[in-house]
Amino acid sequence: FTRMRRPKRSRTSAGSSTSAESEGGISSADDTMESAEAGDATSRVSYRQSKDTITSEQRERADLYEAALDAYQEARFTEACQLASRLLVETPNDLAARSILQRAQQHAGEDSNVVGLSEEELASWTGVFCMGEK
């Protein structure tokens, strides 16, 4: 009888807990650093701090992206376009922001009117997008 070790828990940048078990048995970067620097506690602490530190610019971008996604999911397409466009000015290669912009543009009409959706479709709108192909 061999006792199995419980997988270590680590924090993701979003603050949620994950484990090596939930990631298919792959150890986290923290585990790797702990193994490599087993005798150097100071290095481990500073590594964790630098990895977990989020700049104010990153937080602002995340908040702006979340606002754009919320607007899209709530069928406020003109607002979603404006917010996604602001993100793309700073980072033109942001594929997630570009995706929101393109999808919102399909339904954004003049004066914040919605186009391309029936009243029934608009009433049941969730913003869920099902990919038909890769």
Asked if residue 48 and residue 60 are part of one domain, the reply reads no
Asked whether residue 131 is assigned to any structural domain, the reply reads no
pLDDT of 16? 47
Asked whether residue 105 is assigned to any structural domain, the reply reads yes
Asked if residue 79 and residue 28 are part of one domain, the reply reads no
Asked whether residue 5 is assigned to any structural domain, the reply reads no
Tokens read off for 2: 């061999």
Q: What is the pLDDT of residues 67-96, one digit of tens each?
A: 999 999 888 889 999 999 999 998 999 999
Asked if residue 67 and residue 114 are part of one domain, the reply reads yes
Asked whether residue 129 is assigned to any structural domain, the reply reads no
Alpha helical stretches, state H, the chain: 29-36, 41-52, 56-73, 77-90, 95-105, 119-123
Q: How many domains are there within the chain?
A: 2
Asked if residue 60 and residue 47 are part of one domain, the reply reads no
Asked if residue 116 and residue 74 are part of one domain, the reply reads yes
The pLDDT of residue 47 is above 50: yes
Share of the chain above pLDDT 70, in %: 58
Which domain range does residue 42 map to? Answer: 10-52
- 34's CB contacts (< 8 A; 6+ apart) are 44
98 vs 129: CA distance, rounded Å: 14
Mean pLDDT on 29-44: 51
The pLDDT of residue 22 is above 70: no
Asked whether residue 35 is assigned to any structural domain, the reply reads yes
Asked if residue 85 and residue 98 are part of one domain, the reply reads yes
Of the pLDDT bands very low, low, confident and very high (cuts 50, 70, 90), residue 49 is: low
Asked whether residue 132 is assigned to any structural domain, the reply reads no
Asked if residue 39 and residue 17 are part of one domain, the reply reads yes
40 vs 101: CA distance, rounded Å: 47
Asked whether residue 4 is assigned to any structural domain, the reply reads no
77 vs 120: CA distance, rounded Å: 17
Provide the 10 A C-beta neighbour count for residue 53: 9
Q: Which of 55, 67, 49, 54 is nearest to 41 (CA)?
A: 49
pLDDT of 117? 75
Provide the 10 A C-beta neighbour count for residue 129: 10
Mean pLDDT on 101-112: 81
Asked if residue 64 and residue 114 are part of one domain, the reply reads yes
- Backbone phi, psi, residue 131, to 5°: -75, 130
